[in-house]
Chain A
Amino acid sequence: MGLDYENDGALHAKLIEDVLSQYPDKAAKRRKKHLSVATSKDETGGEDKGLSECDVKSNIKSIPGVMTIRGCAYAGSKGVVWGPVKDMVHISHGPVGCGQYSWSQRRNYYVGTTGIDTFVTMQFTSDFQEKDIVFGGDKKLEKIIDEIEDLFPLSGGISVQSECPIGLIGDDIEAVSRKKAKEHEKTIVPVRCEGFRGVSQSLGHHIANDAIRDWVFDKDDVAFESGPYDVNVVGDYNIGGDAWASRILLEEIGLRVVGNWSGDATLAEIERAPKAKLNLIHCYRSMNYICRHMEEKYGIAWMEYNFFGPSQIEASLRNIAKHFGPEIEEKTEKVIAKYRPLVDAVIAKYQPRLEGRTVMLYVGGLRPRHVITAYEDLGMVIVGTGYEFAHNDDYQRTGHYVKNGTLVYDDVTGYELEKFIEGIRPDLVGSGIKEKYPVQKMGIPFRQMHSWDYSGPYHGYDGFAIFARDMDLAINNPVWGLYRAPWKKTKDVQLRAVAAE
């Protein structure tokens, strides 16, 4: 799978050395562990030939003052896991800011009547004031829940997303939730995702998963007739419609998606999950916890899959089909064959425009590895990649994707990323909104790989066509050729003239 190439490991090692030399000693020592150059396992004596080793430390506290790109546990819970559950009201519990900045920013698509039976693109906040800090916010929370019941009677439930002060002032949101859930006969989920917990978004995911386990599962009798091909899609947040472009394929191969977590999900889809036959997990980092729990408690197997780009889609579909046997496998081959002409046409159109172009990635906990093959399907080359909040098991998995010599950076700092990009000058950078504009100022094409830069979906075959189009329009836009004023003779600015072709 993928292309065969090697990256310039010597250059990358030098870049690491250069950036480390600029830190105070203490910080340099700490940052050193997070930066490395991927090496082939056969060189290091490993057995899996062709795999690389991404030997970096991860999931460790960020260093103060270095401009980490990471977010917090609240972002991981409200922003990622819970926020997309569409028929629930999610209270950003604490001061106004957290809910305000995360309001409608993750593009978790859904269908529903917003404000009536669906609430994803709304910002519910307890808007803490000084008196709430001093006297506690539990009384206020009770009143908020009552007001929600009064104004939004069709909501399916409520979650309480804790912001920093909650855990510091000793509020008992669990007690309030229990009391009010009983009173209103509704699911109310307290989530202890205060932003200071853990080192990144990641602990927020974990806490959010645990809240599903503790406050949703086995609370109500779920009447549902299970079938032999029932699956849950877990860890697809339907960004730009990703989950829909995936669901259409799973249904085509004969599976029944009985729950989608958590993009476009209703609470019912979460409650029902233990009745499925298999959990298909897309974002391993943010939702592996609950899959492991369901395996232990309900005996539901789980399987990772990757729907970015045709190579991975085909492999994943076949892998999923194998779990269900010949009937599904046969259908799967038909589906793969059906989409083959689309794949061929997309590659025929875009590969000549993208072949050999180099890409650097820096995203969250999954995409820094998952999208690699999609680029390679288009003939593009990944020269560097890294995660905001991955753990060791993610870097192990990354070894299956990256080539020898690839620059690997964990919890990269603004300074490092800028210097790496300057030193490598890739043809494209894929990262987030905070990185977009600095990179574009340098004259380097950029795509946001959290929000799909307001495009998408990128999952599935339908999504691959959009992905290819978007990478082409980013790289081959004429604007990159206009950066230098023609009368300016000095070459103080290093610029590529890509676009004019």
Chain B
Amino acid sequence: MPQSAEKVLDHAPLFREPEYRQMLAEKKLNFECPHPDQIVSDQRELTKTWEYREKNLAREALVINPAKACQPLGAVFAAAGFERTMSFVHGSQGCVAYYRSHLSRHFKEPSSAVSSSMTEDAAVFGGLKNMVDGLANTYKLYDPKMIAVSTTCMAEVIGDDLRSFIENAKNEGSVPCDFDVPFAHTPAFVGSHVDGYDGMVKGVLEHFWKGSERSQAAGTINIIPGFDGFCVGNNRELKRLLDLMGVTYTVIQDASDQFDTPSDGEYRMYDGGTKIEDVKGALNAEATLSLQHYNTRKTLEYCNEVGQATASFHYPLGVQATDEFLMKISAISGQEIPETIRMERGRLVDAMADSQSWLHGKKYAIYGDPDFVYGMARFVMETGGEPTHCLATNGTSAWEAQMKELLASSSFGQDAQIWAGKDLWAMRSLLFTEPVDLLIGNSYGKYLERDTGTPLIRLMFPIFDRHHHHRFPLMGYQGGLRVLTTILDKIFDKLDRETSETGVTDYSYDLTR
């Protein structure tokens, strides 16, 4: 009997015990009707070939292991970045359970959102009644300052119109007429979560800005972070830098506190977020900057329309992207970049110089949201690395063009390939046929790591199987240090593992590296 009270074995060791191994072997043999081992291993080998890669990349309809989610997830994340805001997703209720679970599993935090719980009858008659009752219940039970409404694909397919539904609900007294209910249509069959983010942020801004008179406050800046699993660490680091510079700014959509509430005995359903007063005031900013261009295309267009200057970045990481970001801030605000920040920059460059021999020439596969892949590839090239495969399932042709330009700008990008719209099963073929040293992505990459042996570095949402990384910044020079260290740790751990066999590799297992 493998189990005992003294040393309780859970699944990981338990099923490795002989009793279970035998049981599973017999189950397979007698009851599963498996393919012969040879056929399985032949097929496995076949999937590593160029021949399979070509078929795999030629897929036209089937998507396998995509690195993207659907629009309403982005909308729910976006809403979490505003003061006391409850997400209300109009449509089927199961979707909302999924968004909440998804966000909770990454942040290890509560994630609140409600659904209008539409079922078959609403599919026939429309979901107006669900909206009317739902808003009333949410308003009464959860005491929000604002309810941000988005849609599941069910509501989109049947064509429910949020503007008129919300108006109707207000007329019926579900919420007071002056209560803030911004909204965004977020069809899951268009774009991805980054577009849902865009739609909801734009929806909030339009709600508060429309009809208001803009009086430009020179030198003030709005910053929109975009959908960012590292918002907790990143937003706080950005605010620290901006405070050091003495800039007057508003972070529009700041979920850093909402997804990092303290444990002190009180459950805070709402915490932090951009204050509604600040959203209103943000209309007057001279400029709005987006940290993730592909998360804010429509939002920035709108900011432009109201008369603001706009600029966007691609998840600025590392030295030059941070330089550019800070210089832009400096140019708009008229504030100098202080010496302390120059010291921080110097320390990042110092660290990169210290470690350059370990990083130079390393090959990378990078996947994730379009802006992240851009920012990461750029940083990798700064360290002398080569971004061999750059993949964004939700990357567009415009993204592809921008990536091309970036990669052409450095000799380290000459051999790089860009994979817009491809998924992680495609990446599997790429890694087998054109291997790299390191894979940068999210938790889903662990299957690629297992299959291909490429070490995975988790730097992108979602990260389910490692804890707390998102609490530390990747952006800014300080964040750069963290990205650098994370990559180096992976390289050194691998080297140690590969040289740790006594009697075989007593050499190369160096104490100092």
Give A residues with C-beta under 8 Å from B: 22-24, 26-27, 61-75, 87, 91, 94-98, 100-103, 105, 109, 111, 113-117, 121-130, 132-133, 140-141, 143-144, 147-148, 150-151, 153-154, 163-165, 167-169, 195-199, 201, 240-241, 244-245, 247-248, 251, 257-260, 264, 266, 268-269, 272, 338-339, 342, 345-346, 348-350, 413-415, 418, 432-434, 436-443, 455-457, 461-462, 465-466, 468-469, 483-485, 493-495
Contacts and interface: CB of A to CB of B under 8 A. Distances in A.
Contact of A65 (B91, B122, B133, B261): B133
A349 B4 CA distance: 11
B264 A483 contact: yes
A95 B114 CA distance: 21
B275 interface: no
Interface of B: 1-6, 8-11, 14-15, 19-20, 23-24, 27-28, 31-35, 39-40, 43-44, 47, 52, 55-56, 59-66, 68-70, 72-73, 88, 91-95, 97-102, 104-105, 108-120, 122-123, 130-131, 133-138, 140-142, 152-154, 157-158, 187-190, 192, 261, 263-269, 425, 428, 444, 447, 451
CB-CB nearest 9 A-B residue pairs: A72-B94, A65-B134, A64-B134, A97-B70, A101-B98, A345-B5, A95-B188, A493-B265, A65-B137
> Which residue, of A65, A147, A438, has the highest number of chain B Cβ atoms within 10 A?
A65
A257 B210 CA distance: 67
Contacts, number: 349
A251 B5 CA distance: 23
12 contacts: A65-B137, A72-B92, A97-B69, A115-B425, A128-B189, A164-B92, A195-B95, A196-B91, A196-B92, A342-B1, A437-B108, A457-B11
B10 A455 contact: yes
B258 to A, nearest CB: 12
A468 B8 CA distance: 9
B358 to A, nearest CB: 32
B65 A123 contact: yes
A68 B93 contact: yes
Contacts of B68: 96, 100
Nearest to A94: B153
A78 B55 CA distance: 27
Contacts of A23: 137, 140-141
A441 B47 contact: no
A72 B95 contact: yes
Nearest to A72: B94
A112 B264 CA distance: 44
Contacts of A144: 61-62
A470 B486 CA distance: 32
B4 A345 contact: yes
B40 A154 contact: yes
Contacts of A468: 8
B101 A105 contact: yes
Given A100-B69, A466-B8, A484 B265 contact: yes
Given A96-B69, A442-B267, A102 B98 contact: yes
A70 to B, nearest CB: 6
B97 A483 contact: no
Contact of A64 (B60, B97, B137): B137
Contacts of A346: 5
Nearest to B52: A151
A64 B62 contact: no
Contacts of B24: 111, 244
A115 B189 contact: no
Contacts of B268: 441
A145 to B, nearest CB: 9
Nearest to B196: A97
Contacts of A465: 3-5, 8-9
A335 B97 CA distance: 42
B11 A109 contact: yes
A323 B114 CA distance: 48
Given A74-B94, A165-B157, A248-B19, A130 B190 contact: yes
A196 B119 contact: yes
B316 to A, nearest CB: 27
B116 A73 contact: no
B53 to A, nearest CB: 11
Contacts of B20: 244, 248
B451 to A, nearest CB: 7
Contact of A164 (B15, B154, B444, B451): B154
A483 B264 CA distance: 5
B189 A122 contact: no
Contact of A61 (B4, B32, B88, B119): B119
Given A94-B188, A258-B31, 15 more contacts: A64-B115, A65-B88, A65-B141, A71-B97, A97-B153, A123-B64, A129-B190, A150-B55, A151-B52, A266-B32, A272-B31, A441-B265, A466-B14, A484-B264, A494-B265
B43 A441 contact: no
> Which residue, of B52, B99, B114, B157, has the highest number of chain A Cβ atoms within 10 A?
B157
Given A61-B117, A342-B5, A126 B264 contact: no
Given A241-B15, A483-B265, A247 B23 contact: yes
Contact of B63 (A72, A96, A111, A268): A96
B170 to A, nearest CB: 14
B61 A140 contact: yes
Contacts of B88: 65
B34 A122 contact: no
Contacts of B120: 196-198
A247 B22 CA distance: 12
A154 B46 CA distance: 12
Contact of B153 (A109, A164, A436): A164
